[in-house]
Amino acid sequence: MKTALKIAFISLMGALQISCAEVSINRNLLEARELFTLLHKKPESYWLAYDEVNEAFAVLIQADLLSNEDAGAPEIDQLSQLAKQKIALAEQAISDRKSEQLFLNPPLDR
């Protein structure tokens, strides 16, 4: 009976540890993912800022891969910040190129 009680106690303690264990995802990485998703949803992002979008995606993938290997690595913050900067650069490129197109091809007034 003592052995059965010990096994039950050890099982209970293990279950409590597992339930209390929390997978923490880096907030900067989550924010970068959300920003990239918003960028990716814009149809013009691939024909106005193809290179910038691909650069942002490459850095975001690096951050994701690193977080899969070591969730607490400080480089994740750095890569996430870099991804956010590249996303902002892509957004700016889209805005600038839209303005250029509007300037070069003004709408016809009828």
* pLDDT score of 83: 97
Quickly state the pLDDT bin for 19 (edges 50, 70, 90): very low
The whole-angstrom separation of Cα 34 and Cα 63 is 14
Provide CB contacts within 8 A for 62, sequence distance 6+.
79
The whole-angstrom separation of Cα 36 and Cα 88 is 9
* pLDDT score of 105: 73
Whole-model pTM: value is 0.73
**In the predicted structure, residue 65 carries a pLDDT above the cut 70:** yes
